[in-house]
A and B are shown apart, each in its own frame.
Chain A
Amino acid sequence: MSATKRIAATAVLAMGLASVPALAETPFYEGKTIEVLINYSAGGPTDVEARLIARHLGKHIPGNPTIVARNRAGAGGMIGMNYMADVVRPDGLTVAIFSPPVFTEVLGDAGLDTRFKDFIWLSSLAVPQICYVRRDTPPGVEEPADLLQAETFNASGIRPTSTHDIRMRLSLDVLGVDYNYVTGYKGLAGASAAVLQNEAQYSCGSIASYRSSVVPSMVETGIAMPLFYYAVVDATGNDVLNASLPDIPTFRDYYRSVHGENPSGEVYEVFEAVNNLKTSLQRGSFVPLGTPDEAVDALRQAWKALETDEEFLSAYEEAFQAKPVISHGEETMALIESLDDIDADLVKFLSDYIAAGSDN
């Protein structure tokens, strides 16, 4: 044991002794097993991220519970949501780490038995998306601003109802460029492969997919260039910058640089609302209403502790090529409550917009 480690150990021990009174009663999770539920199947991006978190969460929960990850996949994440609402008991022993079906909630799908506000939210993770374009898109994209002069290009998507496609179309419409929307590719990897094959010229992807499938084969080889990423706009109207993407402008910065003013109008407002929700709620963790406060507190504390857990942070950064952007307790709850403020016009606009997408 090195000297620094010994000092650190002594410090930990001292802190442990200082908190002896708190240890008088056994921690809630002593000797228990927490089931982490994942609403997508094993091996997908949600699963990989949730399992990584599950692996590190346990050590920050007093009582060191065993953590088991299980999958309840299906219906775009809805089956997992319904399961949490209909089956799981509020005993703190089942914790969801989901990709919450934000649009299903906003558009009010009949298949969803529950509302997001029927849960106690522990935290959420934000994942921004980056958009990129081929440099040889006619007549040639030498620098980011040239996108606006490009001839009709293909923008590759996954599914008309996916937030990937909706945000891609909204942002391109806001910019006012001429594009042809091509959807149905298999995942972000399929959408980026289409750009590599020059079947499409434009697409967007999460940081992990951008860094793994776009940067090495397209950006570094000079085939494509990044344009901007969708940033969350905070309450004061400022972009929340992502520390992992220092060299890429936010969408609003990009818009300002090419149009000389802030984006505005109905389409932009819808884009901002949609993006704020989806980007901040890419992953969300929650338990059923009625879960004991003790359990909720312990879990929220554990989520907070992750932010300073070097082992977790480096594992996360290696896996997803970005620092985790975590919101906690009240912050996430506020986000969930903001879902109630979404007006009927926006919902109507969105469903019409999605339906119109396949006609062009």
Chain B
Amino acid sequence: MYDLILSSLAAVLAWPAIGYLLLGTILGLFFGAVPGLSGLVGMAILLPFTFTMEPVAAFAFLLGMYAVTTTSDTLASVLLGIPGTSASQATILDGYPLAKKGEAARALGAAFFVSAVGGLLGALFLGLSIPVLQPVILAFAQPEFFMLGILALTMVASLSGGSILLGLVSALFGLLISYIGYSPTDAIPRYTFDVIYLFEGLPLIPVILGLFALPEVLALAVGNTSISRVDRTETRSRMIDGVRDAVRNWWLVLRSSAIGCYVGLLPGLGGSIVDWIAYGHVVQSSRDKSGFGEGDIRGVIAPEAANNAQKGAALIPTVTFGIPGSAPMAILLGALLIQGLQPGPQMLTTKLDITLSMMWTMVIANVLGAGLLFLFSRYLVRLTFVPGHLIVPGVCLFLFMGAWLATSNMGDWGVLLLFGTLGYLMKRGGIPRAPLVLGIILGPIMENALAISLSAYNGYGWIARPIVTVLAVMVVVSLAYSIWIHVRRRSVVPADVSGARVPRPGMLAARPLDQLLPLVILTGVFVGAAVLAMDWPANSARFPFMTGISGAALAVAALVVSICHLQADHAAGRGGGTSPQPLGSVLHFALWMLAIVGVTILLGQRIALPLFAGLYILVWGGYGWRVAVPYALGCLAVLILIFDQVVAVSWYPALLLR
């Protein structure tokens, strides 16, 4: 056994495997760092090149790439507030505020370090535990997945930033969005309104980019602040500080990695949820929660350790049972077959050397990837100190192209802008956005799993399954704990006595006035959704109807609370506070965004986006031609070199160029 472990390490270190591993790792850093690109896109692009390779080299190439996309995705999440891949959405919540405080380097240092540690633990988990895991994986059938969904949904309490009411409204709206498209059990489309873009539901990435990134870009454009609100000379944040933070929180790193391993192990949960579960866990388990959402380093450590750990574990069901838990793993399964390897028990006996070489590849790539990022990121950190106007066009380019990569359809941009608007309204109104994403991700898992469970086990016969029972107990404990914490915190917060505007718990310093509009809109949407659902067969209507009814009730309740606050403000003679951004500037910015869409329809992205960049720098930024022209050319170069040549994106067929 020891011989085999060493000889498989030697096989990975031998030429050309180590060369491919290095190349794969560098490509993986790139695929992770560019928003919209991901390990999946990387797998699809690299797979054909492995057809002629030896197995060890092929997997060194593919897994080297795959292992580190969740290490480098932190760059965009922390520096720009855009998730680099869907596995690093939760990192934004505290990573970007850290960048705003001028501590981007610290956040990145912590993230890279724990990514490497998490990745190492995930890989070791892969190597050590394969023989004993078969019963665990097989025991998680659809009823268990349904209960897991419920358990994950209780994380809403932790992601709500204090107001569970608003968090629930947000989560229910996310669930509602997840029902768009064909029902999983009946041959009927739901909430598609005959728009064929909606038939397969909304793609996740444009939704996330709109919800979280567009409002931040707007703030940069309107305020022309640099991302860091603190001047460069005033901050001493270094990457090594982040490493120290990580070491200090070693117990959290271990727990988060364990979460990553479990999520990876269960096929179908996947990378887009592991970061949220880890983030929910750290908030739930922390004594002092006041810093979360404002730049608590633990909010970066937890998701970043988990998302790398998840990858090693995700190999287990794929390699040993031929059950790919996610799309990248399905491609890996293809790669196994192409190499003439059959997934299954033999990967642990006669082909154990290959499995071990995969483990070593993950180990080396994780260390290598983090090391390379430590070396080069200090230059990227400077981005956060550059004036906003110089950042906005470049970020917009990656935002729009990142969304476009989802399905390469104008609908992707529609979703981006629509959710951008919604994200802006929610941010202004202090309505938490993270639960919405959790709802979108969990909706299909829960709805599908419940429908299958009811059908496959003749009704509720599955309730008594042992793991279901254990999970149900965990749900109750998690709920009770959240409520207890909530009640306790209420009693601690001092009464609102001073004349100054005191941030209310859960309202995130929002003006009650700003909550009214989004809540009124959401109430309408919930009611409409419930009404539409009444015509559908029971299996398809169950979730939408329940979601619509309870969503409407909670949204109305939130409205009442909000109006009470408003009246209290009035009675106390307090103004509503000032709006963070003047409405005129906001609309002005929205026009620029719409102009990108309009010019693209006429002339295509390769003209529209560089043109936008140049004009923005010139007109809005007030810089001269000498800045604007090279900037626009740089954008064009990125579009051609990255998106056209490497990714081979399908461009919009511009009207005037057809």
- Which A residues are within 8 Å of any B CB, using their own CB? 37, 41-45, 47-48, 51-52, 55, 68-76, 78-79, 82-83, 87, 89, 110-111, 154, 159-161, 180-187, 189-190, 192-194, 196-197, 199-200, 208, 211-217, 220-221, 315, 318-321, 354-355, 357-359
Residues of B within 8 A of A181 (CB): 455
Give the Cβ gap from B610 to chain A, nearest Cβ, in Å: 21
Contacts of B338 in A (CB 8 A): 315, 318-319
State A83–B196 Cα separation when bound (angstroms). 12
CB atoms of A354 and B337 under 8 A apart: no
B44 interfacial by beta-carbon distance below 8 Å: yes
Q: Would you call A199 and B340 a contact (CB within 8 A)?
A: no
Question: Contacting chain A: which of B18-26, B121-129, B327-335?
Answer: B327-335
Q: Name 14 A/B residue pairs within 8 A (Cβ), A-sorted.
A: A45-B330, A48-B44, A48-B331, A69-B648, A180-B456, A184-B451, A193-B321, A194-B452, A208-B337, A212-B336, A217-B321, A318-B340, A319-B334, A358-B187
Q: Which residues of B contact A357 (CB under 8 A)?
A: 187
Taking a contact as CB atoms closer than 8 A, the residue among B334, B456, B649 that contacts A182 in the complex is B456
Whether A184 pairs with B267 at a CB distance below 8 angstroms is no
Q: Which 7 A-B pairs have the closest CB atoms?
A: A216-B344, A42-B44, A75-B199, A213-B322, A111-B196, A70-B650, A184-B184
A183:B185 contact, CB within 8 angstroms? yes
Chain B residues whose CB sits within 8 angstroms of the CB of A47 once the complex forms: 44
* Most-contacted residue by chain A among B45, B330, B343, B537 (CB, 10 A): B330
CA distance A346 to B141 in the complex (A): 37
A288 to chain B, nearest CB (A): 13
Give the distance in Å from the alpha carbon of A180 to the alpha carbon of B456 in the complex. 8
Q: How far is the CB of B270 from chain A (nearest CB, A)?
A: 10
Contact call B343/A79, Cβ cutoff below 8 A? no
From B138, B328, B346, A216 is in contact (CB under 8 Å) with B346
Contact partners of B186 in chain A: CB under 8 A: 160, 355, 358
* Distance A220 CA – B349 CA, assembled complex (angstroms): 15
The complex places the Cα of A358 from the Cα of B182 at a distance, in Å, of 13
A183 to B321, CA, bound (A): 21
Interface residues of B in 23-58 (CB under 8 A from A): 40-41, 43-45, 47-48, 51
Which listed residue, B141, B185, B196, B455, touches A74 by the CB 8 Å rule?
B196
Asked whether any CB of chain A lies closer than 8 Å to the CB of B503, the reply is no
Alpha-carbon gap, A212 to B335, bound state (A): 11
Q: Are A212 and B343 in contact (CB under 8 A)?
A: yes
Q: Which of A51, A89, A189, A197 has the most CB of B within 10 A?
A: A189
Q: Say if the beta carbon of B284 comes within 8 Å of chain A.
A: no
Would you list which residues of chain B between 128 and 166 have a CB under 8 Å from chain A?
138, 141-142
In the complex, what distance in Å separates the CA atom of A75 from the CA atom of B180?
12
Which of B342, B649, B653 interacts with A87 by CB under 8 Å? B653
By the criterion CB–CB under 8 Å, are B194 and A111 in contact?
yes
Q: How far is the CB of A172 from chain B (nearest CB, A)?
A: 16
Chain B 319-362 against A: per-residue CB contact (8 Å), 1 yes, 0 no? 00111100110110110111110111110000000000000000
Interface flag for B231 (CB, 8 Å): no
Chain A residues with CB under 8 Å of B51's CB are 315, 318-319
Which of chain B's residues have a CB closer than 8 A to the CB of A48?
44, 47, 331, 334
Chain B contact residues, CB within 8 Å of chain A: 40-41, 43-45, 47-48, 51, 138, 141-142, 182, 184-187, 194, 196-197, 199-200, 267-268, 321-324, 327-328, 330-331, 333-334, 336-340, 342-346, 407-409, 411, 448, 451-452, 455-456, 537, 539, 648-650, 653, 658
Which residues of the other chain, B, contact A320 by a CB distance below 8 angstroms?
337
> What distance in Å separates the Cβ of A94 from its nearest Cβ neighbour in chain B?
10
Closest residue of B by beta carbon distance from A320:
B337
Give the residues in chain B near A215, CB-CB below 8 Å: 342
Q: What residues of chain B lie closer than 8 Å to A110, measured between beta carbons?
A: 194
B344's partner among A189, A197, A220 (CB-CB below 8 A) is: A220
Q: A184 contacts B649, CB within 8 Å?
A: no
Q: How far is the CB of B206 from chain A (nearest CB, A)?
A: 12
- Complex-state Cα separation, A339 to B648, whole angstroms: 34
Contact residue among B142, B336, B345, B408 (Cβ-Cβ distance under 8 Å from A199)? B142
In the assembled complex, how far is the CB of residue A160 from the closest CB belonging to chain B, in whole angstroms?
5
A68, A189, A194, A355: the one contacting B141 at CB < 8 Å is: A194
Report yes or no: A189 in contact with B194, Cβ–Cβ below 8 A.
Answer: no
A76 touches B456 (CB 8 A): no
Taking a contact as CB atoms under 8 Å apart, the answer to whether B658 and A89 are in contact is yes
Are B48 and A197 touching (Cβ within 8 A)?
no
| A200 pairs with B456, CB closer than 8 A | yes
Chain B: CB-nearest residue to A359: B537
| Contact B344–A217 (Cβ < 8 Å) | yes
Contact between chains at A74 and B197 (CB < 8 Å):
yes
Distance, CA A111 to CA B199, complexed state (A):
10
Residues of B contacting A221 with CB < 8 Å? 345
Min distance, Cβ A60 to any Cβ of chain B, angstroms: 17
- Assess the A74–B650 pair: CB atoms within 8 A: no
Report how far A237 CA is from B202 CA in the complex, Å. Answer: 45
Docked Cα-Cα span, A82 to B323, in Å, equals: 33
**A79 near B330 (CB under 8 angstroms)?**
no
* Given A79-B196, A186-B268, A160-B187 contact (CB < 8 Å): yes
- A198 to chain B minimum Cβ distance, whole angstroms, is 8
Kindly list 9 other residue pairs between chains A and B, CB separation below 8 angstroms, not including A161-B187, A193-B267, A193-B321.
A44-B330, A72-B407, A183-B452, A192-B322, A200-B456, A211-B337, A213-B333, A220-B344, A318-B338
Bound together, the chains give a CA A216 to CA B142 distance in angstroms of 23
Q: Would you call A358 and B539 a contact (CB within 8 A)?
A: yes
Q: Which single member of B40, B194, B331, B650 contacts A72 (CB below 8 Å)?
A: B650
Question: Which residue of A37, A70, A184 contacts B448 across the interface (Cβ within 8 Å)?
Answer: A184
